[in-house]
Amino acid sequence: MVLWVFGYGSLIWNPGFDFDEKLIGYIKDYKRVFDLGCIDHRGTPEHPARTCTLEDSAGAICWGAAYCVRGGPEKEKLAMEYLEGRECEYDSKTLVQFYTETDTTKQSKPILTGVIVFTSTPDKVSNKYYLGPAPMEEMAMQIATASGPCGNNREYLFKLEKAMHDIEHEDEYVIELANEVRKHLDLPKEVKALLKPVVSRVSIKSHSQAHVSTLQRVFAS
């Protein structure tokens, strides 16, 4: 058995686990959105960060990286244990087909099936981490001001923007959001003082300090 995992966020530039092969490609009928709350990486329970998750979107494609883990059940188990701890805000896993063709208009066939991707339920009742969509300006202000044990929220967004550029498949949504954040960072100090981080309307309990320490090491690079 071989394990394949698709990354569309920080896994693109910082997988953090032992893998045997990496492929750049995309999955179909999903788009990247910043609708998921993060309270112990780059945000807090009072002022959650926004991180990316996937949203169903017929006809859309989402570029990222697929990682292969070979070497037997024990190695695969270690990789999944690491990923499930790191991706703890994502409440579900989905199996997807993975494509690598650069011409996305053709009726191409997937080169991989049964690839695992971490996703989140878009429901604020069943998924305590789901923040939902918001106007671009509101999301930008939240990202510009949120920070946590592993760093600030804007760094996550800017690293994702760079990672997509590096794999030569820039995401216009990510670029637009990053540019909106830059506008907030360029505001005069007296205006910034009037801006307050967006407060979560969802009560979220933080994870253990040991978990936070692990995440600090993961997101340091």
Would you name the residues annotated as active-site residues?
Answer: 87
DSSP per residue over 145-178, as a string? H-EETTEEHHHHHHHHHHHHHHTT---HHHHHHH
Global pTM? 0.82
Backbone angles phi, psi at 158, to 5 degrees: -65, -35
Question: How high is the pLDDT of residue 106?
Answer: 67
pLDDT tens, residue by residue, 71-107: 899 999 999 999 999 998 899 999 999 999 876 666 6
Name the CATH superfamily housing domain 3-195: Gamma-glutamyl cyclotransferase-like (3.10.490.10)
Low-confidence ranges of the chain (pLDDT < 50): 190-191, 193-221
Query: How wide is the angle at C-alpha 148 spanned by C-alphas 144 and 154, nearest 5°?
Result: 25
pLDDT computed for residue 188 by the predictor: 59
Nearest CA to 113 out of 6, 198, 220 is that of 6
Quick check: helix, strand or coil at residue 176? helix
